[in-house]
Structure 1
């Protein structure tokens, strides 16, 4: 029935904090080759290549690849504002992510409504989704690094949701199909398979349309992201190259 595709699409969207369809790159044309880790006294930007691969901002000091960069007063002021504005932006980005989790979980609930689940299965599904949503909300709130949502980390969150929900739905649908087959209603059994297949194949684009509701909230971030890009301009790392912690495209 390809049911795993439905749950995989949902879980991956959740794991990406609801920003898969309306991310900052699409809406604000903002990109960065760095991961960001926020500490009480520092902002740490890191990437595999090119140099500088590690940029540390904090307490009026700029360090790139282990070397402190000499800054004039104007540059120190701009980097202080950069740090202040970026820290202020983080709760707003998290708020979008939190809402994205809610939108995605609600989409799974509504999409599964077409599967004619029995009351017990429906109640258990709602319970598991609520538990997973609460966990993701907590993880988003506690997260201080974009590393938490990349690669294996994101896949772990996705697999957890899949592991919680997919067996439940598969069992319920399988039992419906068995009951239909045993009663001799092969057409109903085939319809169940088709229903689940159609739901799985169309879920991702429908979810992306639902996530359009996040667009105004993300657009409200764009002016502040643009300001961050402007504040970093003209400042070089220890290797003499522009920092380019954040890029704004067209």
Structure 2
């Protein structure tokens, strides 16, 4: 979540190549033999992970809400008015879509670090045309009222809207950094448990249940 996140990828038990649960391990949906020490570590890993993933998702949802509020602030800054009802409906719809995807996911990999930033930028790119239409509408109102200078200013701001909105979204996510930092000790605990396991893949490589950022 942002560039200071401590996680590169953490997957929770669920459909996929690796599944863990109650000290059991499945690779490709096939049970894998686990010794007693690794079984204990898997149980602890699962417990910590199950408590961690909802919190990561919660931070991601707050990030989505902050980003969308930043979009609203950008519109108020440019036009002096809130987004139009159509634009506001699009903002709320996008929020609901992303929240639903976060709820349905079984991994944190899409909701932190560069992946989350890409999601926010994609959302901004999708909303720019809608918000630009709001700016154009306001500019037309000013022009019809005889304020040609004001209309010209809005036109220039509309051209810069993609850049200014992205910058505002990035700034809006900065308050999440303390939340991300508070998650890091448990992520390191997961890494230590994983490092202590003797589990190997079929090709002999160590099984990585998560990766930490360099």
TM-score, normalized by the shorter chain, greater than 0.5: yes
Tell me the number of residue pairs that the alignment of Structure 1 and Structure 2 aligns. Answer: 206
Instruction: State the partner residue of 2:179.
Output: 217
Instruction: State the partner residue of 1:242.
Output: 206
Alignment of 1:47-62 (within 5 A): 54-62=17-25
Alignment of 1:55-204 (within 5 A): 55-65=18-28, 68-116=31-79, 122-145=84-107, 158=123, 162=126, 166-167=129-130, 169-179=131-141, 186-204=148-166
Measured at CA, do residues 74 and 98 of structure 1 come closer, stay the same or move farther in structure 2, by a change above 3 Å? same
| Distance of 1:118 and 1:201 partners within structure 2 | 20
Whether the aligned pair in 2 keeps the contact of 1:37 and 1:145 (CA below 8 Å) is yes
| Distance of 2:41 and 2:8 partners within structure 1 | 20
Instruction: State the partner residue of 1:50.
Output: none
Measured at CA, do residues 84 and 187 of structure 1 come closer, stay the same or move farther in structure 2, by a change above 3 Å? same
TM-score normalised to the size of structure 2? 0.76
Instruction: State the partner residue of 1:3.
Output: none
Shift of 1:179: 5.0
Whether the aligned pair in 2 keeps the contact of 1:64 and 1:237 (CA below 8 Å) is no
TM-score normalised to the size of structure 1? 0.67
Q: Mark the runs of 5 or more structure 1 residues left unpaired by the alignment.
A: 1-18, 47-53
| Distance of 1:143 and 1:56 partners within structure 2 | 14
CA root-mean-square deviation: 3.4
Measured at CA, do residues 117 and 220 of structure 1 come closer, stay the same or move farther in structure 2, by a change above 3 Å? same
Q: Mark the runs of 5 or more structure 2 residues left unpaired by the alignment.
A: none
C-alpha offsets along residues 20-68 of structure 1, whole Å, 9 cap, x if unaligned?
xx25xx331x323xx73643xxxx5x5xxxxxxx323234322334654
